[in-house]
Amino acid sequence: MISIRRILAPTDLSDASITSVRYGAELADKFQAELVLLHVVQDLALVLPDAVMPTPVASPNLDEMIAAARDGVNKLVVKLGLGRLHPVAEVRVGSPAAEIVAAAGDLKADLVCLGTHGRGGLAHLLLGSVAERVVRQAPCPVLTVRPPVKAH
């Protein structure tokens, strides 16, 4: 028998991640599992190191970014009507893939429910895939969820 007691649902707070959060919430409800919503605040020093910038870039205050992330997760809970599940909000700072994998281990998640942006070709090559790295490195199963296909 598969036992799922804790589901980690990372979200970048975009529309693309809403579908995967809904999957995580539905599974948490069915398995009576704890739902943990994780948002990773990207450390801008990792994304834009001073060495490649011609002039220093004013970076937002990290404490403000973390507070905004917590607020965003709380608004997502309300928007999706997840209050009945009493989800835990987790905010971390760093590289999204590394922090998702670390959180899955630290929190002893039984499942990660992760959205994909569905990028292909050059975009995938240049930007990489957070989902791909999480699937390879996570200490537990990972359910990847593509956003709904939009009609043309």
Check residue 50 and give its pLDDT: 53
In the structure, what pLDDT confidence band is assigned to residue 51 with cuts at 50, 70 and 90? low
Q: What CATH number is attached to the domain comprising 95?
A: 3.40.50.620
Q: Is residue 34 part of a domain?
A: yes
pLDDT for 137 equals 94
Rounded CA gap, 71 and 81, in Å? 15
Q: What is the distance of C-alpha 78 from the center of its chain?
A: 17
pTM of the entire structure? Answer: 0.85
| C-alpha–C-alpha distance, residues 104 and 62, integer Å | 23
Mean pLDDT lowest for which of 26-30, 31-35, 55-59? 55-59
For residue 138, is it within any domain? no
Looking at the predicted structure, is the pLDDT value of residue 33 above 90?
Answer: yes
Residue with tokens 């704890």: 34
In a domain, 150, yes or no: no
More confident call, 120 vs 22: 22
Is residue 123 in a domain?
no
Inside any domain, residue 128: no
Question: How many other CB atoms sit within 10 Å of the CB of residue 136?
Answer: 11
Confidence of residue 127 (pLDDT cuts 50, 70, 90): very low
If you average pLDDT over residues 61-90, what whole number do you get?
95
What digits encode the pLDDT tens for the residues 79-110? Answer: 999 999 999 999 999 999 999 999 999 999 99
Q: How many domains does the chain have?
A: 1
Domain that holds residue 62: 6-118
Residue 126: per-residue pLDDT: 47
- Say yes or no to pLDDT of 142 above 90: yes
pLDDT, position 147: 79
